[in-house]
Amino acid sequence: MLRILASTFLALCVCSGSFAQTHRITDANSNLWISHWGDHRFHDRWSFHTEGHWRRTDLGEHWQQLLLRPAINFHLNDQVLITQGYSYYINHTYSTYPIRFQNWEHHLWQQIQLTQAIGRVRIQHRFRMEERFIARLNADADEPSRAVFDSYGYQNRFRYRVWVTVPLGGHEKVAPGVFSVNLYDEVFLNFGDPTRLDHINQNRISALLGYQVNKELNALVGYLHQTIQRPGAAAGIDLLELNSTIHLALVYNMDLRKAKAPTTP
């Protein structure tokens, strides 16, 4: 009995010690994101994708992230879009618990996008797989404030987003001069690395008001709430980052296909 009590007491001490060593806290930020998306059709089956994100914290005062994302699309039909792309990230230091050094990432990614219409409501499901190559930086031995590139760390990430668009004013679909409500939620899941415990990397939920300016241009403005899990953000601290974001986006889609000459009767 004494041996059991001693073992139980030792286990409790170990557990309490581990909890004492790691704390989970939250950190709130106010961000401003300006984005561009575009799909530019040059063939009945093919288009190229352009995308860029200018992300700043403290409502635009300081850098958070810069992202460029070109890609190529294959249009299986009007409902199914298959994409292969590349992403380049620059991650800046920001907030109360910043990363130690500004770094960068290279991503390869594959995506399937499914679109369906239910009456006036348009629903889009997006499934994306990312292969991430993240720069690892160490402090210079002679000048600790200076970063020195060491190697690339590899991670996998899966993303799922559902986006719902509803035209306003009784319109059946989004067309030039029509406002719309856009709601979406996206979850990011890490996998493939047994040393990482933050399988749910982040989640984004957003509400945007859209206005279709003309056939090519759609302007969106609204609110996005971003949750990021950052285990080990500081010594003994697991961080839950809660970011309230004003999001401005311009969606510009070009049709570069040559107009078909009308057939003469």
In the chain, where are the structural domains located?
Answer: 24-252
Phi and psi dihedrals of 23, rounded to 5?
-120, 150
Specify the pairing of strand 62-68 against strand 46-57.
antiparallel
Residue 262: pLDDT band by 50, 70, 90 thresholds? low
Average pLDDT, the chain: 89
Q: Are 252 and 40 in contact (CB under 8 A)?
A: no
- pTM of the entire structure? 0.87
Question: Considering only CA atoms, which of 79, 83, 99 is closest in space to residue 91?
Answer: 99
| Phi and psi torsions of 39, nearest 5° | -125, 120
Range from 1-5, 177-181, 218-222, 255-259 carrying the lowest mean pLDDT: 1-5
Class of the CATH domain delimited by 24-252: mainly beta
Task: Report how far apart the first and last C-alpha atoms of the chain are (Å, whole number).
Answer: 100
Percent of the chain residues past pLDDT 90, beyond the cut:
77
- At 145, the pLDDT band (50, 70, 90 cuts) reads confident
Cα–Cα distance measured from residue 97 to residue 58, given in angstroms and rounded to the nearest whole number:
14
